[in-house]
Amino acid sequence: MQEFITFAFLGLGLGALYSLAAQGLVLIYRGSGVLNFAHGAIGMVGAYIYWSISVDHGHPFVVGLVAGVAASAVIGAATHLLVMRPLRQASPLARVVATLGILITLQSLVVLVFTTDIRFVPSTLPVDSVSIGGVKVSTDRIYLLVIAVVLAVALWALYKFTKFGVGTAAVAENQRSAATLGWSPDVIATANWALGSALAGVAAILIVPIVTLQVSVLTNMVLAALAAALIASFRSFPIALVASLVIGVAEVELTRYVQQPGLGSSVPFILIVVFMVARGQTLPLRDYFLQRLPAIGDGRVKLVYVALAVVVGVLAVGFTPVAWQDGFTITMATALILLSLVVVTGYTGQLSLAQFALAGFGAWIAGRLVADQGWPFWAGALAGVLGTVPLGLAFVLPAVRTRGINFAVVTLGLGSTLELMLFLNSSYTGDYRGTQIESPHLFGFDIGAISHPERYGYVTLAVLIVGCLAVANVRRGRSGRRLIAVRTNERAAAALGISVQGAKLYAFGLAAALAAAGGILLAFRNTSISYATWTSFESISAVAWAMIGGIGFIMGPIFGATLAPGGLGTVVGDRVFSGIAEYVPLITGVLLIVLVLMNQHGIARETGNQIRWVRSKLGKSISAIAIKPEKPVSLPAEIRGKVNPRELKVSGLTVTYGVTVAVDDVSLSVTPGKIVGLIGPNGAGKTTLIDAVTGFTKVSKGTIELDAQPINRWNVIKRSRQGLSRSFQSLELFEDSTVIDNLRVASDPRDLFSYFRDLVLPTQPKLPGEVVAAINEFGLEADLQTKVEDLPYGKRRLLAIARAVATTPSILLLDEPAAGLGDAETAELASLVRRLAADWGMAILLVEHDMNFVMSVCDDIVVLDFGKKIAEGNPAQVRNNPAVIAAYLGETTDELIEDPTVSTPPAVTLAGTSTAKDGF
């Protein structure tokens, strides 16, 4: 027991240092909303400056400490002012990728200046032992614990009781509102970046006597701090302290008592995964920020380009010196790994920081089967690809429960766990020499990269071309439309009956296979495979390469992979500038930062733009090889008929958020061919009721029935497929797609077979006649190939309804469809909605603030106020109901009853605009 307590105190000291770094992450996030992956690298710079001044040159500890902490603070402030401030309107993905660029840049600079040598740093704190309850404890751990506790309390008090803390909270909530009150968001953010980065410097300086001074160790320190900051929701300093201490103790105790190598160091990452999966939402909430991701290509392929690529590749691999051949091979194999990021991040919108870990896992399976079991190369490679797919599918568990930046943290944790427990475990990977393999053979031919580099290059080229064609096919097929829908808006995709989980399963399974193929081809270039090189930093670098090349384009990975170590960029650079290879990581980091600031779409898109510009100048001279615009969409005959009639009944519906009752015991019914209006002041619970009916919000009490069948337990997707469709108040269209693709993805069959067929032969089935009828009904035939982002607002409103109609629903729920429309457009929309009920037989529940619109189209109206139903009846009954008038005009029902002169106020018209849009 005494030994356990002794190691617990050691863990408390380590956890105290994690706490300092975690508090810095919390500061930066609270002040600017940025999750800083470069936090450990910033602290690392401070630690090296401290070592150089106080250890290497012998100056006093205080001098080195102040210089190191100040350097970290300056880097943090500069990061905000020079990088994050220009990106304040960018997507969270762009800002996180920018911090990855800073991480790569700082780490590369430190390696160039200080090398990767391990340095032992003496402790500046007292290391005497004291006895606590009969247990000897090192005093330095007590000092560290006291420092961490005092700092956490001080930060808690600073941000709770001072004006600076109030200003930080205000800026985090709403920068524009805070600015109107006199708070400068830039000053607040800069101060928090400087203070948070200074804490990273303090943590790094104090931890190096324990873990040694080494580049990778200090960079990875941020991962343990991330776990603690995540548990604290990046807001609570005390919780971050407690979480850090628990992580530190668990890490030390497991290292002492469990023989599994790497398990103790994996504790933070395991906690990250467990916590994020438990806390996340299956679908994002209504106010989830819909980020604009980098542009994506259309996946169109012209055979002449493929033939040209084959010819160039064969010539480059077969008729160049050996060093160039190996450079081409490394570039092509790395491009396969980056191609997996096109599927995961480009098409599905999930930032994965574990693709090199997946690549390494595939190489590990193949290597061990070939080396230990004597499998032939082709069989081992196939097993490696297929064996990695389940691991990629396992990533979907956190992908379903988290998304965006949170998912990036989860994948980083998973990849780091794989690195620590598998790749660095010699009992699984072989002795110090690695896994020994013989030269690979294929169809009886020796294709070893050492003996026959050109043959190995041809095989790699063939696999890369097949992978690129498969991904291009997916982009053009039904499965690609589902992925793009999920990438753009998970809520809208689910509302159309698309299985978000299924789409992510497919994306991560395909990405895992691509990454594994690339990893196997990289590993089998040598006769000794070392798995220690498959690090988390390589996964981070892979994101950088993919972003630089163009993470949404098939050609992007090829451009980006030239920056890989040993790749074509290194070979060319060494020929032009001797010794440039060691500077490639630094160049990569700087390029990534510049790219995110200026053009996050990558080289591939810019190259395409330049080609189009040249083509426009040359005219028809190169038209023979140009990719022609898509042909106009040929629409089949429309089919107009009644939809499957179904009745929606809501009984005693109650929805609560904590102690707040958003909908309180509401009952209503909607029958085929009828329109029921749902009105009420802002905040009355109208949209919440629609969310509850369609499955986006959990019902606290009451029942929802479809043709007398309770559907409370049905998820969003099942409700949609059974005939419940909706539009959204904020439209939530798929901005990256065309009008026709928005309608196609709504009407596409939801079969699983298309996921496999699209890899080889993507199809474009004819639009159902009912969808053609919707296109004609809403006047969208001239805009079918127009990007949604290029549509005028009125057309966007119509498209949102048409997309919901394209699912041919029995029951249609419209959430403020006339918002922002002019009088003429509103009148036209009213006629359309009436026809949907009368001619199509749909049961329609309509939420709208425009009273002229509601009164003209609705058969019945339900009125809500503060979540309660206060009136129900036909338009005439509701118009004259005293309780309804009170809800809109702010008078009590009793006052209205006592004053018989009160009547419905007339609509006041000013310059032809009626105020009836906002009330009676």
Q: In 601-757, where does DSSP find H-type helix?
A: 603-618, 686-694, 716-721, 739-747, 753-757
Can you give the pLDDT at residue 176? 78
Q: What is the pLDDT of residues 721-767, one digit of tens each?
A: 999 999 998 888 998 899 999 999 999 988 888 999 999 999 888 88
Rounded to the nearest 5°, which phi and psi values hold at 814? -110, 125
Can you give the pLDDT at residue 55? 93
Q: In 423-526, where does DSSP find H-type helix?
A: 426-429, 453-476, 478-488, 490-495, 500-523
Identify the residue with better confidence: 397 or 603.
Answer: 603
Sign of CA dihedral 700, 705, 710, 711: negative
Asked if 733 contacts 800 with a C-beta cutoff of 8 angstroms, the reply is: yes
**Residue 903's pLDDT band (boundaries 50, 70, 90)?**
very low
Can you give the pLDDT at residue 479? 95
From the number of C-beta atoms within 10 Å of its C-beta (0-12, 13-18, 19+), residue 447 rates as buried
Can you give the pLDDT at residue 615? 75
**Residue 889's pLDDT band (boundaries 50, 70, 90)?**
low
Q: What is the pLDDT of residues 805-856, one digit of tens each?
A: 999 999 999 999 998 888 888 999 999 999 999 999 999 999 998 888 999 9
Residue 206 CA to residue 654 CA, distance in Å, equals 54
Of 343, 345, 415, 393, nearest in space to 501 by CA: 393
What does the pLDDT average to over 28-42? 90
| DSSP symbols for 242-269 | HHHHHHHHHHHHHHHH--STTTTTTHHH
Is the pLDDT at 442 greater than 60, yes or no?
yes
Q: What is the pLDDT of residues 237-267, one digit of tens each?
A: 999 999 999 999 988 888 887 777 777 777 8
Residue 507 CA to residue 511 CA, distance in Å, equals 6
Residue 256 CA to residue 7 CA, distance in Å, equals 8
Q: What is the pLDDT of residues 336-384, one digit of tens each?
A: 999 999 999 999 988 899 999 999 999 999 999 999 999 999 999 999 9
**Residue 287's pLDDT band (boundaries 50, 70, 90)?**
very low
Please write down the long-range contacts of 885-889, taking CB distance under 8 Å and 24 or more positions apart: 885/920, 887/680, 887/681, 887/684, 887/863, 888/681, 888/919, 888/920, 889/919, 889/920
Of 670, 666, 644, nearest in space to 656 by CA: 666
Distance separating the N- and C-terminal Cα atoms of the chain: 76
**Residue 631's pLDDT band (boundaries 50, 70, 90)?**
low
Domain 648-723+809-889: assigned CATH number: 3.40.50.300
Q: What is the largest CA-CA distance in the chain?
A: 101
Can you give the pLDDT at residue 280? 61
CA Rg value for the chain: 31
Can you give the pLDDT at residue 173? 73
Instruction: Quote the DSSP letter at residue 904.
Output: P
What does the pLDDT average to over 619-629? 49
**Residue 904's pLDDT band (boundaries 50, 70, 90)?**
very low
What does the pLDDT average to over 46-51? 95
Residue 769 CA to residue 756 CA, distance in Å, equals 26
Give CA separation, 275 vs 194, 271, 859, in Å.
29, 6, 49
**Residue 403's pLDDT band (boundaries 50, 70, 90)?**
low
Of 397, 416, 418, 396, nearest in space to 344 by CA: 396
Can you give the pLDDT at residue 281? 58
From the number of C-beta atoms within 10 Å of its C-beta (0-12, 13-18, 19+), residue 898 rates as exposed
CA 187 to chain centroid, in Å, comes to: 28
1-259 adopts what CATH topology? ABC transporter involved in vitamin B12 uptake, BtuC (1.10.3470)
Segment holding 290, helix H or strand E: none
Q: What is the pLDDT of residues 290-348, one digit of tens each?
A: 566 788 998 888 888 889 889 998 998 988 888 899 999 999 999 999 999 999 999 99
The answer as to CATH 1.10.3470 being correct for domain 303-615 is yes
Can you give the pLDDT at residue 482? 94
Identify the residue with better confidence: 130 or 512.
Answer: 512
What does the pLDDT average to over 523-550? 90
Q: What is the pLDDT of residues 568-580, one digit of tens each?
A: 988 888 777 777 7
Q: Which residue has the tokens 């600015």?
A: 179
| Structure token digits, residue 820 | 């922002």
- Mean pLDDT check: name the lowest of 142-146, 283-287, 548-552, 855-859: 283-287
pTM of the model: 0.87
Residues of the chain with CATH 3.40.50.300: 648-723+809-889
- Mean pLDDT check: name the lowest of 74-83, 632-641, 862-871: 632-641
Can you give the pLDDT at residue 1? 67
**How many C-beta atoms lie closer than 10 Å to residue 197's C-beta?**
31
Q: Across all residues in the chain, what is the average pLDDT?
A: 87
Residue 544 CA to residue 567 CA, distance in Å, equals 15
The residues, any chain, with a CB within 8 Å of residue 5's CB and separated by 6 or more, are 133, 135
Segment holding 701, helix H or strand E: strand 701-706
Is the pLDDT at 431 greater than 90, yes or no?
no
Residues of the chain with CATH 1.10.3470: 1-259, 303-615
Asked if 456 contacts 449 with a C-beta cutoff of 8 angstroms, the reply is: yes
